[in-house]
Amino acid sequence: PYNMSGTVVKGFRRGTEIGFPTANIESEKVIPAEGVYAIIAEVEGNRYQGVINIGYNPTFGNEELSMEVHLLDFQGDIYEKTIDIQFIDRLRDEIKFDSPDKLVVQIKKDIDKAKELLAPYAL
């Protein structure tokens, strides 16, 4: 799978506010097309399943491109740590939702689909 690395930096903290904390990645490497992907991430030698959104967060009207990773079954502080991402499969395009609540419903669906796709990648 395609992979990339970057440093986890502080973002807007919207993911935490809606129940899906994300690690915002700063990277100089060429990145895949905007959208949501199922991924495997490695941080400090530990591997995690997750999802990444690459795009402009149209629901919130951002103007800068961001890469936000939600690690499944993870709690902790990884700010300023390096995160390595392996892209396993593309789930969907990035879309603008009418409200953060509708975004939350879709994120739950994305996570369910990612878990199915990532099942062969037992950690």
Q: List the catalytic residues.
A: 68
Say how far apart CA 34 and CA 15 lie, in whole Å: 18
How many whole angstroms from its chain centre is CA 96? 16
Phi and psi at residue 119, to the nearest 5°:
-55, -40
What tokens were used for 68?
Answer: 């936000």
DSSP-H helix ranges across 13-99 = 14-17
How far apart, in whole angstroms, are the C-alpha atoms of residue 123 and residue 111? Answer: 16
Between CA 81 and CA 120 the distance in angstroms is 27
